[in-house]
Structure 1
Amino acid sequence: MERNRAQALLFSGGLDTSILAFLSPGVYALSVRLEEFGEDFKYAKALSERLGLQLHLRKVDVEEALEAIPEVIRIRRSFDPALPNDLALYFALQLAREQGFDSVMTGDGADELFAGYDYMFHLDLEHYLPWLAERMHFSAGELGSYLGIEVRQPFLDEALISFALSIQPHLKVREEGGRKYGKWILRKAFEGFLPQEVIWQAKRPIEVGSGFAELRGIVASSISEEEFAEAQRTYPIQFLSKDHLYYYRIYQRVVGQMPSPQPGEERCLGCGAGIKPSAFHCRICGWCREAGCEDFRSL
């Protein structure tokens, strides 16, 4: 932790960031929410009070979030439908800058290394997790760089990655109280240090816990069924939803043409852009090559 410590922590009150908060006495906690949506703030507020952390909250209204979409698409050069995840991170990092912090920690990597996603419960984790560890990528670093914030990711420390991959899968996915949990060994390691309701809470994706997932329905409501059907016929893009089309139109305006595949790349079946043969999803359009990658294509 010492070499990855930062001035502030992007804090959801979920298991991963709660572990970092416990291990970082005195760290400033930062949390964002879209208006009154999402559950993260409830958990973040309760745990910050228990741990004696100073919590900074930024409440973002819908109009402000909509206005930020073009900038986030321009930074990420992507119209992936997981954009609400990036928006939540963008506003949290913006809050860090407003508070005068120049470095933050995130909980990135814990789910990938300790099997925190439900779809992983039925996979051969002994082979899958090392494969994933070589390919995982997180948008917080890119957004932080743009905003002048250094993003530190303790779970991605090389020593921790090596240790995590040495742990047997049956210690990562296991039943407790009649229910199957991922990250079982992490949960057990911090029992007695964190409240039970934090230890055994269900996974909340960033965009869900922060409420930014609500934007999907809001932007989708601006596109009629006829308009969406016409776009599916007209554009050489496999649109997954109306909000996907909404983001693509902005991408066309602020980024421009789709990049052609470069030597060594394959053509994405979703948008025609280049994608590395080893990639499990297209970072431009979000098309998934691997089953289950919908759970983390925002990474």
Structure 2
Amino acid sequence: MSFIDRESAYVRQLFTEVLSSREALKCDAVLLSGGLDTSIASETLKQLPGSQLHTAITVTIDPAQNELAKSHALFSQEPQDVIYARKIAEKLGLDHHILTPALDELFFTASGESTLELCVRTRQTFDGMELRNAVVIAHALKYAKSIGCQRVCTGDGADEMFAGYSFMQGMSDEDLQKYTVNMVKTMSFCAVPLAKALELEVWSPFLDPRVIEYATTRGNSRVLKVGQFEGVQHGKLVLRMAFPDVVSAGRKKEPIECGSGTTVMPALAELAVSDNEFESEARDALDKYGIVVRDKERLVYFRTFQRVVLEGQSSNQLQKDSTDACPDCKFRLRDGTSFCSVCGLYPARPIIRD
């Protein structure tokens, strides 16, 4: 048996043990993106004795519900999440809820607190990359709560620890090892605080301490994380080799925003916000708060950030910092990262390489 085969067998056993835990078996729903990570989690969990998993929730944008996006042909193809998720749910016999919200429903209008407002208030951010992903998770969690689910399984952590991102796959073995260890120290996921705000629980097998230890020690090698699977170069190689029978074993990595369809938001903001509006409101943000708003999409989110965080009644957990602050928004940077979690500037501090 080869080295990769031995490690794949070990990983399969490890995940079976993790998913056999009491915390895992209590999951009654899964946020089913149809990617490799949720495919492994749901397909392994469902077959275990005592599993309470019965519901799958998938979010995909309906382009027909936004006339501006539709008229400018911003949706070039059907989002892929629902295609894979449907296959997994059918295979497992899950009660599959496919949610098709309009962009306006997620980002702009709603009865009560909008999904965007929930995300901005909870995550304290107006960064586009964060919010395009967070609104999808928040919408799914809100729905899970509405139908009585209590503990929701996610696939958080796999990309960060097993080289799921394309930029990690191009690193040398030494750089990837160091980056993975640092990533584990700084990674955070929106599902946890969003679920807490909604009085739900979320759980991911990839964030179990046993999996984290494997990914940063014994399994922290490029040969286990990057390589050929079914003739195609992929990240998360050892996961694919460990679970070659799951529906999405060969699916390429897609960010949540691509799989769900929220990736159109930058282009939509360009159409929805005039140049004069952007120049005027960006100037006001700089004059009033010392905050640089770099583009129209950020301005769409900054309007909510200003109302909910800077001027609202919600708890403002952000700190101004004169010595270790983001150059654009002036808020204190998180330790160990060059990315500003508030405005999305990168690099927000010099990148130091060994």
Please say if 1:210 is aligned against 2:257: no
Separation in 1, partners of 2:259, 2:294: 22
> Alpha-carbon deviation of 1:262?
5.3
> Alpha-carbon deviation of 1:149?
0.8
Instruction: Give yes or no for contact 1:104–1:151 (8 Å, CA) kept in 2.
Output: yes
Counterpart of 1:78 in 2: which secondary structure? coil
Separation in 1, partners of 2:162, 2:266: 29
The 1:233–1:262 alpha-carbon spacing in structure 2 relative to 1, beyond 3 Å, is closer
Aligned to 1:268: 326
Aligned to 1:253: 307
Work out the number of aligned pairs and report it: 288
Please say if 1:288 is aligned against 2:346: yes
Aligned to 2:118: 71
Aligned to 1:296: none
Runs of 4+ that moved beyond 4 A: 230-234
1:155-207 CA deviation, whole Å, 9 max, x = no partner?
0000110012221221101134553210011111111x224xx2111111112
Instruction: Give yes or no for contact 2:226–2:233 (8 Å, CA) kept in 1.
Output: yes
Aligned to 1:225: 275
Please say if 1:140 is aligned against 2:191: yes
Counterpart amino acid of 1:250? T
1:34-80 CA deviation, whole Å, 9 max, x = no partner?
21552211111122112222212222123311222223212222111
The 1:260–1:213 alpha-carbon spacing in structure 2 relative to 1, beyond 3 Å, is same
After TM superposition, list the pairs within 5 Å mapping 1:173-192 onto structure 2.
173-176=226-229, 179-191=232-244
1:83-109 CA deviation, whole Å, 9 max, x = no partner?
111100001101110110111011000
Aligned to 1:91: 139
Q: Which stretch has the larger CA shift, 245-254 or 15-24?
A: 245-254
Q: Which runs of 5+ in 2 are unaligned?
A: 1-18, 47-51, 64-77
Separation in 1, partners of 2:319, 2:153: 35
Aligned to 2:97: 56
Q: Which stretch has the larger CA shift, 204-213 or 217-226?
A: 217-226
**Aligned match of 1:194 in 240, 246, 265?**
246
Aligned to 1:153: 204
Instruction: Give yes or no for contact 2:230–2:250 (8 Å, CA) kept in 1.
Output: no
Instruction: Give yes or no for contact 2:327–2:348 (8 Å, CA) kept in 1.
Output: no
Please say if 1:31 is aligned against 2:58: yes
> Alpha-carbon deviation of 1:213?
2.3
What's the RMSD between the two structures over aligned residues? 2.3
Counterpart of 1:17 in 2: which secondary structure? helix
Counterpart amino acid of 2:136? A
Separation in 1, partners of 2:89, 2:231: 30
> Alpha-carbon deviation of 1:2?
2.6
Counterpart of 1:31 in 2: which secondary structure? strand
> Alpha-carbon deviation of 1:114?
0.5
TM superposition score normalised by structure 1: 0.88
Instruction: Give yes or no for contact 1:270–1:287 (8 Å, CA) kept in 2.
Output: yes
The 1:219–1:70 alpha-carbon spacing in structure 2 relative to 1, beyond 3 Å, is farther
Separation in 2, partners of 1:29, 1:177: 28
Counterpart of 2:186 in 1: which secondary structure? coil
Separation in 1, partners of 2:184, 2:335: 16
Separation in 1, partners of 2:228, 2:327: 38
Instruction: Give yes or no for contact 2:225–2:238 (8 Å, CA) kept in 1.
Output: yes
The 1:290–1:120 alpha-carbon spacing in structure 2 relative to 1, beyond 3 Å, is farther
> Alpha-carbon deviation of 1:122?
2.0
Separation in 2, partners of 1:111, 1:80: 20
